[in-house]
Chains A and B, each alone.
Chain A
Amino acid sequence: MLFSSAVFLFVFLPLTLLFYYLAPRQAKNHVLLIASLVFYLYGEITYTFLLLLSALFNWAIGLALSRTQPQSAAAKRLLALSLVLNLSLLFYYKYAGFLVSILTDITGVSLSFSAPSLPVGISFYTFQAMSYTVDVYRREARCENDPLSFATYLCLFPQLIAGPIVRYTDVSDELKSRRHTLQGFADGAFLFVIGLAKKVILADTLAKLVSLYRSQAPSVLMAWLYAIAFTLQIYFDFSGYSDMAVGLGRLFDFSFPQNFHYPYTAASITAFWRRWHITLSSWFKSYVYIPLGGNRRGKRRLIRNLLIVWLLTGLWHGSAWTFLAWGALYGLLLIFEKFLGLSLLERLPRPIGHLYTLFFVTLGFVLFNAESLSGAARDIGALFGVGALPLYDAAALYYAKSYLPLLLFACLAATPFFKRLFVRSDPKKQRAAPLAFAKDAAKPFITLSLLLLSTAFIVGESFSPFLYFRF
C-alpha cells in the first residue's frame, strides 16, 4: 500500500487513526502492530510471514544476547548467527539472481535458478533488525522483552517499506510511553501533506518528462532534460516519501530521524551524503565503516574502507552492475575529496563546489537509472553529444519550453527557499524572514491547499479515456 494511494488516504489512515486514538493507552501498540500487518499484507500477502519470522527471530536473538556476558564467545556466536541469517535472507531474495547471472556469464553454463520476487521493504527492515541485534550486543540498546513491542518497532507501517531506517534506540522510549501532543500531531499532519505534495505533484509530473526520453529522437538537450528531471524526480519522490513517513510517525507520537536535508544545496559530495538518505549513510557508518577501522588505520585502510562501504551502498540500492558502478563512483569521489578535493573546494568560490557536486550527482543518477552499463554509457555520452548527436531538435526544444517552469520551480523547491520565506535561516540573525508574521497562519492554508491539490493529482492519474473516446 502506498501512502499516496486513495486506499491509504481515505480508508487505511482514517481507520487506523480512529482505532488508535480510541484504544486505551496499553493497547495502542497492538493497534499499530495490527494496522502495520494489514498495511503490509495488503500488498505482500505471501511475504507477511517472512516479516513476522524476521521479527520473531531477531527478538529472540536480542533476548538471548541480553543473557550473555558482553563480548563473550556466546554473544559473538549469537551475533554471528543473527548477521548470517539476516544477510542470507537479504542475499537470497535480492542478490541470488544477480549472482547466478554473473556465474552464467563467466562460466557460460546456464544455471536453472528462478530468482524470487523481492519482498517489499526487505532491505529496510533487515537493516533495522541487524542494527537492533548489533546494538544489543554492544550494550548500546536495551533488549526488548515484549515480542509484540519489538514486532511493532520492526513492522511499524510508516517506515516499513521505504524507510527512514529507524534504529531501535531511536524509538525504544516511545515504544514504552508516548505523550500525544496537539503540536506533535499538527506537525506530523503538516509534514505528511508536504511529503504527499512533493511525491504526487512534483515527482510524478517530473516522471512524465523522464519517461519521454526513451521515446524521443536523441539530442544533447533532450539528454540533459532527462538527467535534470530524473535528478529532481528521485529527490522529490524519495524525500517526499520520507517526509510522509516521518509525518505519519508524528501522528502516533514517534520521532523518526530526518532522512533528507536539502542535499542539492551541498557544495561537496561529502556534504551531499550528509544530507541524502541520512539514515542509510549513518547505518553504514555505524555498522560497517567504523567497525572496519574508519579513517584511523592509515590511508590504505581508509581507501579500502571507503570503497567497501560505497560498493555496499550501491548494492543496497539494487542488484545490478549499474548500482555497483554508482556506489563505486561515489567511493572514488569521496576518496578524492578526503585527500585533495575538500581542501581544494574550500579555496575555490562556493558556487564552483555546488556546480561540481550537482554535476556528479546528476551524472550519478543517470547511471543509477540506466538499464545496463552500456545503456549508462550511452545516456552519459548523450549528455556530451557523443555519437554526433544534434544539440537539439524541435521536440527537445518543445519539451524544454513546456517543462521549464516546472523544472525551475522544482529546483527552487529543492532548496530551503520556501522555508526561508517563513523562518530565518540563522536564528542568531536579527533580521526576520519576509513572511515570518504569517508563519503560523499559513500552515492551515498550505495544509488544505496541498491536500486538495494532491488529491487532484492522484485522481488525475486515474484518467483513462476509453479507446473509442477519440472517435
Chain B
Amino acid sequence: MKKKKASLLVIVLFLLFLFGMAALSLFTEDAAYIVNERRAAEPLPSLSFASLAEGDYSRRLESHLLDTLPFRESFRHLKNRFSHTILHLSDIDGLFLTENGVAKKLSPVDTALIAKNAAFFDRLITTYFPDSAKVYLSLIPDKSYYARPATERSAFDSLARLLDESLTAELCAIPLTDTLSLFSYYATDIHITQQGWFSPLSRLAEAMHFPSPLPEAFDEVPLGAFLGTLGAQAALSDEKDEMTLFYDKSGIVASAEVLYPDGQSGRLYDTSLFAKSDDKYDVFLRGETVGEEGARVGNFFIKVTNPKAESERRLILFRDSFARAALPLFLAAYSEVILVDLRAPSLFYGENAAALFDDGRTDILFLVSAHTLNTTEFR
C-alpha cells in the first residue's frame, strides 16, 4: 500500500470512528438500565455552575456517556477477552475462569467488617434468643475457595477464624467446606445448585438432628438454560448453566405455602420469574424484592408453612441468597420456617421482629456466604 493511501485510510478510520460513535451516541436512544450489571444507567446530568464547579457535572456526564455508549456490552466483552486471552490476566474485575465456569475473588478479607458483623450476630442472639441452646452457624465458602486454593482458601480460613474469635454468644458452628466442591456451584452464577446442596445439608442435618435429605427422594424438573450473574459480569465465555428444580416425591415442596413481605402468598418456586427476571436464580423464593412494579419491597422476611410436616419444629433461618435454593430440600424437617435476610435494615424494629422468638421447639440457623459477610455490613 502506498504511503499516501495508507495515510488517507488512517484518517478515514480515525474520523469515522470518532464521528460515528459521537453520532450514534447522539441519535440512538439511551439505555436506562444495564442488565448485566443490574443497575440503572447514569441519566444525562443537568448543567449548572455549581455542578460544574464541584466537578459533579463532569463526573456524571462521563458516567452517562460510558453507560449509554453504543455497543457498550460488545466493548466490555472485547476488553475482557483481550485481557484474558492476550494479556493472560487471571483476574478481571476480581472475576476469573475456573474448570467450572466463572468465580469471584473473596480476598482481601475486611477484618473490621467481619468484627462488626460478628457483633451484630451477638446482638441478635442476646436480644431474641438469650436462652436458646439450639443456635447454629454455617459459613458458606465461595466457589473461589475450590478454584484457587492457594490464595482464596487462606482468605476464607482467616475470615472464619476472625468471625469465630469475634463472636461472644454461644452457638454451634457447623463447617461445610469439606462437603462442597467446585462443581457444587453453578458455572456462571455465584450460588450453589440444588444438586450441590445435598451434601452440606447432610452435615447440617447431622448437627441439627433432622433427617438428611436424599437426592432419590426428589424429581428433577429442568427449566432451561441461563447465564448467571457472574457469567454476565465476566463476559469471558459463552458457557451457560441449566436450571433444574427439585420437587420431593411426597409433595412437600409443591404444597408448602409461602407468605412474602408484600402480603402475597405463593410457592417455594416461582417459575414465571425464569422468563421474566434478569436473575434466573429469582425462581427460588422470588428473589431479592417482591411486589408490583413501583411498589417493590425487599424480600427480607418470608414465612414458609409446611402443611405436611410431621413435627412441630420451627426454624428461624438468618440467611443471604444462598439459602433460598437449599430450603426446599430440607423443609420436610420443619412445620414453619421464618427466613430473615441478614441484609434487611432494622432487624430490631417493626412487626417482623415479633416472629423472632424461641418457644422451645425452634432451631436458629445462621447460614451465610463468606462473600456476603465480607462485603455487607449488617445493621
User: Which residues of A are found within 8 Å of B63, using beta-carbon distances?
Assistant: 462
Query: Beyond A7-B61, A182-B11, A469-B233, is A455–B39 a contact (Cβ under 8 Å)?
Result: no
Q: In the complex, which residues of chain B have a beta carbon less than 8 angstroms from the beta carbon of A215?
A: 108
Q: Which of the 9-residue segments B47-55, B116-124, B238-246 touches chain A?
A: B47-55
CA distance A9 to B19 in the complex (A): 9
Stretch among B81-89, B164-172, B261-269 lining the A interface: B81-89
Residues of A within 8 A of B108 (CB): 215-216
Judged by a CB distance under 8 angstroms, whether B150 is at the interface is: yes
A7-B65, A456-B76, A471-B372 known; A182 vs B14 contact (CB < 8 Å) = no
Contact of B21 with A by CB under 8 A: yes
Q: Counting CB contacts under 8 A, is B72 at the interface?
A: yes
Contact at B6–A440, with CB atoms within 8 Å?
yes
Question: A residues engaging B (CB < 8 A)?
Answer: 1, 5-7, 9-11, 13-14, 17, 41-43, 45-46, 182-183, 185-187, 189-190, 192-193, 205, 215-216, 394-395, 397-398, 401-406, 409, 440-441, 443-444, 447-448, 451-453, 455-471
Q: A187: which B residues are within 8 A, CB to CB?
A: 7
In the assembled complex, 11 residue pairs joining A and B whose CB atoms fall closer than 8 Å, in A order, are: A183-B7, A394-B151, A440-B7, A444-B13, A453-B82, A456-B82, A459-B72, A466-B37, A468-B38, A469-B37, A469-B39
Residues of chain B within 8 A (CB-CB) of A398 are: 90, 148, 150-151
Chain A residues in 8 Å Cβ range of B18? 9-10, 13-14, 17
Cβ-closest chain A residue relative to B72: A459
The answer, among B2, B14, B321, for a CB contact under 8 Å with A440, is: B2
Within 8 A of A (CB), among B104-161: 104, 107-108, 148, 150-151, 154
Count the B residues whose beta carbon is within 8 Å of the partner chain — how many? 68
Q: Are A46 and B107 in contact (CB under 8 A)?
A: no
| Complexed CA–CA distance, A447 and B7 (Å) | 11
Q: Is the interface of A mostly helix, strand, loop or mixed?
A: helix
Q: Chain B residues near A404 (CB, 8 Å)?
A: 88
Asked whether A447 lies within 8 Å of B13 as measured between CB atoms, the reply is yes
**Inter-chain contacts of B25 with A (CB < 8 A):** 10
Assess A444 versus B79: contact at CB under 8 Å? Given A455-B21, A466-B38.
Answer: no
With both beta carbons as reference points, the residue of chain A lying nearest to B9 in the complex is identified as A444
Contact of B66 among A6, A43, A397, A466 (CB under 8 A): A6
Do the beta carbons of A469 and B10 come within 8 Å of each other? no
Contacts of A462 in B (CB 8 A): 63, 66-67
New A-B contacts (9) at CB < 8 Å, excluding given A14-B19, A394-B150, A471-B320: A14-B22, A45-B49, A398-B148, A444-B13, A456-B76, A458-B66, A465-B233, A470-B104, A470-B372
Hey, which chain A residues are within 8 Å of B362, CB to CB? none
Give the nearest-CB partner of B104 in chain A.
A470
> What residues on A are CB-neighbors of B104 within 8 Å?
470
Q: Are B78 and A469 in contact (CB under 8 A)?
A: no
Pairs of residues from A and B, 8 with the lowest C-beta to C-beta distance, nearest first: A186-B7, A460-B79, A440-B6, A462-B66, A402-B90, A471-B321, A456-B79, A444-B9
Contact: A456 with B372, CB < 8 Å? Answer: no
In the assembled complex, the CB of A384 is this many whole angstroms from the nearest CB of chain B, namely: 25
B151 CB contacts on chain A under 8 angstroms: 394-395, 398
Cα distance, A395 to B371, chains bound together (Å) = 19
Query: CA separation between A447 and B65, bound complex, in Å?
Result: 22
Known A394-B154, A456-B76: A409·B69 in contact at CB below 8 Å: no
Question: Per a CB cutoff under 8 Å, which of A11, A185, A458, A469 touches B22?
Answer: A11
User: Cβ of B80 < 8 Å from any Cβ of A?
Assistant: yes
In the complex, the answer to whether B87 meets A205 with C-beta atoms within 8 Å is yes
Question: By the criterion CB–CB under 8 Å, are B76 and A405 in contact?
Answer: no
Contact A448 B17, CB 8 Å, known A7-B58, A459-B66: yes
Of A17, A409, A448, A469, chain B has the most CB atoms within 10 Å of the CB of: A469
Closest to B12 in A: A444
Known interface pairs A10-B21, A403-B89, A405-B88; A471-B67 also in contact (CB < 8 Å): no
Residues of A within 8 A of B4 (CB): 182-183
Residue of chain B at shortest CB distance from A2: B62
Known: A10-B18, A14-B18. A186 touches B37 (CB 8 A): no
* A contact residues around B14 at 8 Å (CB): 189, 192-193, 447, 451
A406: B residues at CB distance < 8 A: 87-89
Q: Which of B37, B39, B78, B88 contacts A456 (CB 8 A)?
A: B78
Cα-based distance from A215 to B19 in the complex (angstroms): 42
Chain B residues packing against A (C-beta within 8 Å): 1-11, 13-15, 17-19, 21-22, 25, 36-39, 49, 52-53, 55, 58, 61-63, 65-67, 69, 72, 75-76, 78-80, 82-83, 87-91, 93, 104, 107-108, 148, 150-151, 154, 190, 229, 233, 288, 320-321, 343, 371-372, 375-376
Our count of residue pairs bridging A and B at CB distance below 8 angstroms stands at 178
Q: Min CB distance, B52 to chain A, in Å?
A: 5
B10 touching A186, Cβ below 8 Å:
yes
Residues of the B chain whose Cβ atoms lie less than 8 Å from the Cβ of A458: 66
Question: Is A190 a contact partner of B83 (Cβ separation < 8 A)?
Answer: no
A5 and B63 alpha carbons, distance in the complex (Å): 10
CA A277 – CA B343 in complex, angstroms? Answer: 51
Closest Cβ–Cβ distance, residue A158 to chain B (whole Å) = 15
* Cβ contact of B76, chosen from A14, A183, A441, A459, cutoff 8 A: A459
**Contacting residues, chain B, for A402 (C-beta < 8 A):** 88-91
For B37, what are the chain A residues with a Cβ–Cβ distance below 8 Å?
Answer: 463-466, 469
Q: A182-B7, A466-B37 are in contact. Are A42 and B52 (CB under 8 A)?
A: yes
Tell me how far the C-beta of A169 lies from the nearest C-beta in chain B, rounded to whole angstroms: 29
Complex-state Cα separation, A183 to B104, whole angstroms: 48
A residues in contact with B79, CB < 8 Å: 453, 456-457, 459-460
CB <8 Å contact, B58 and A43? yes
Nearest CB in chain A to that of B93: its residue: A463
State whether A452 touches B66 (Cβ < 8 A). no
Bound-state Cα–Cα, A215 to B63, Å: 27
- Please give, as numbers and ranges, the residues of chain A lying within 8 Å of B82 by CB-CB distance: 453, 456
Q: State whether B8 touches A182 (Cβ < 8 A).
A: yes
Query: Contact: B13 with A451, CB < 8 Å?
Result: yes
Say yes or no: A440 contacts B88, CB within 8 Å.
no
Residue pair B22, A443 in contact (C-beta under 8 Å): no
Q: How far is the CA of A259 from the CA of B25 in the complex (A)?
A: 34
Contact B7 A5 (CB under 8 A): no
By beta carbon, the residue of chain A nearest B23 is A14
Kindly list chain B residues whose C-beta atoms are within 8 Å of the C-beta of A452.
17, 75, 78
Q: Is the CB of B10 within 8 A of A6?
A: no
A409 surroundings in chain B (CB, below 8 A):
87
Which of B36, B91, B371 has its CB near the most chain A CB atoms (within 10 A)? B91
> Which among B15, B53, B67, B83 is the interface contact of A45 at CB below 8 angstroms?
B53
A464 touches B80 (CB 8 A): no
> Within the complex, what minimum Cβ distance (angstroms) separates B241 from chain A?
16
In the complex, A471 Cα to B372 Cα: how many Å? 8
With contacts A42-B58, A464-B39 taken as known, whether A444 is within 8 angstroms of B78 at the C-beta atoms is no
Alpha-carbon separation in the docked complex, A192 to B83 (Å): 22
CB distance from B160 to the nearest CB of A (A): 17
Chain B: which residue is nearest A216 at the CB level?
B108
Bound CA–CA A189/B13 (angstroms) = 10
B312 to chain A, nearest CB (A): 31
Contacts of A403 in B (CB 8 A): 89
